[in-house]
Amino acid sequence: MRNINGERLWASLEALGRIGAYQDEGSGLTGVRRLALTAEDGEGRRHVVEQMKAAGLAVTVDRIGNVYGRRAGREDALEPVMSGSHLDSVATAGRFDGCLGVLGALEVVKTLNDEGTVTRRPLVVAFFSEEEGARFGTDMLGSAVATGRLSLETAYGLTDRAGKTVKDELSAIGFLGEGAELLPAPHAYVECHIEQGPLLKAAGMDVGVVTGVQAISWMELTLTGKSAHAGTTPMELRVDPGVVASRIQLHLREMVRSGRYGGDLRATMGVTRFEPGLVNVVPNKVVATVDLRHPFDAVLKRAEAELHRFFEAAAAEEKVTLAWRQTARTPDVSFSARVQEAVAAAAQARGLKHQRIVSGAGHDCQELARLCRAGMVFIPGEYDGISHNPREYSTPKQCTDGVNVLCDVLVALADE
């Protein structure tokens, strides 16, 4: 049985985790802040590109900044098997989200290099731009462009809070590549990732065989009212958009608790920006975001419809002007049954406990699933699987187990 080098993998996770490291005030822990297309992301990208080149990969960058490192196969004209993930992070991240998938795929290549194995098909290690959506507002951006869900023009025009565009920021970090953005269908795509939730650890599992990803809906609401003095303005004269934001927040929780959508609806208001944002001023404007998710698209659609009705009515009642836009929307995605079987078989052969699991988080793999047979290997996380947080942690053994399974599946697919 082939084994990847777990110590080398761990050292590479630590080295990448030092790029964009920050001191988290709340926890005192060191976290990672590598928002897409910032200088830190650029540094992380260059660091990984160097490793790709050192491992003998031919590196190309496409017009949306996705990076592909190609290892030749024995029959090099065949469609490649691809593996990877993302290097960008949310502003309060740990070291594993995305990085495990990229460095894990690279570790598979290094392992094959060490033993001098050449697979029948080429292998491609990929990392995709702005998977998180944390800076430009749309998740899986690079992989969505590569697979044709979003146009390059749409992606280029997205802006961050400071008004900087994706295109300018790609150029600023030196990753506005020249490769065609539309990816020819690979033979298969497999991604290793941390679960980012509590299920696998609680069930005593080593590996999750991912069946698919739930549907995701992101909205941005702009609520406009009238600024006024907090002490002198009678309550009945106020037009307070903060009240509408709060009512929506509470209604989201009521929707979840009501059971109207089964037990699996997730609803989060992650951003509320009050203007002018002063203790003694009634706000005139609130920008708020909603992240709504459900394993079934049809159920998510019902929840979206209820939410729309509610926020229109609440805004009207409070005489607040409401504008909203959909910033991201993906249906639920099912992964290839054959890739799932391959992941389960590899885990079984290694004596690793495994179970099927639906991903609560979005992943580049769900975009690639439109092009080819695709699937994922999850590993458990410690501390209730907390993620998007500096406490995010999986052990060296958990990472090694996951990448060993990834390696088995990639080699099997690449020899098809």
141 versus 342: smaller Cβ distance to ligand GLV: 141
Residue 132 or 318 with smaller CB distance to Mn ion: 132
Task: Write down the least CB distance from residue 320 to ligand GLV, Å.
Answer: 28
Q: Which does 98 bind (CB under 5 to 8 A by kind): ligand GLV, Mn ion, none?
A: Mn ion
Length of the chain: 416
Residue 255 CA to residue 109 CA, distance in Å, equals 47
- The CA distances from residue 384 to 201, 268, 356, 381, 395, in Å, are 7, 19, 18, 7, 13
The residues of the shown chain that bind ligand GLV, judged by CB under 6 A, are 132, 139, 361-362
For residue 41, state whether it binds Mn ion (rule: CB under 5 A). Answer: no
Q: Does 97 bind Mn ion (CB under 5 A)?
A: yes
Q: What gap in Å lies between CA 75 and CA 78, rounded to an integer?
A: 6
Selection from Mn ion, ligand GLV, none that 177 binds (CB < 5 to 8 A by kind) is none
Report, in Å, the least distance between residue 114 CB and ligand GLV: 32
CB 267 → Mn ion: shortest distance, Å?
18
Binding residue for Mn ion, selected from 17, 31, 42, 98, defined by CB under 5 A: 98
Interaction between residue 291 and Mn ion (CB under 5 A): no
Q: Is 40 in the site for Mn ion (CB under 5 A)?
A: no
Nearer to ligand GLV, 274 or 378 (CB): 378
**Among residues 139 and 401, whose Cβ is nearest to ligand GLV?**
139
Q: Report the distance separating Cα 376 and Cα 100, nearest Å.
A: 12
**Binding status of residue 318 toward Mn ion by CB under 5 A:** no
Q: Which residue has the tokens 């090694």?
A: 400
User: Measured from the CB of residue 312, what is the shortest distance to Mn ion in angstroms?
Assistant: 31
Instruction: Please say which residue, 98 or 283, places its beta carbon nearer to Mn ion.
Output: 98
Strand partners of residue 325: 220
Contact 119, 70 (CB under 8 A): no
CB 95 within 8 A of CB 14: yes
DSSP letter assigned to residue 330: E
**Rounded distance between C-alpha atoms, residue 162 and residue 385, angstroms:** 32
The closest of 106, 55, 46, 130 to 406, measured between CA atoms, is 106
Distance CA 365, CA 54 (A): 26
Give the one entry of ligand GLV, Mn ion, none that residue 139 binds, where binding means its C-beta sits below a cut-off of 5 to 8 angstroms depending on kind.
Answer: ligand GLV
Residues in contact with Mn ion by CB under 5 A are 97-98
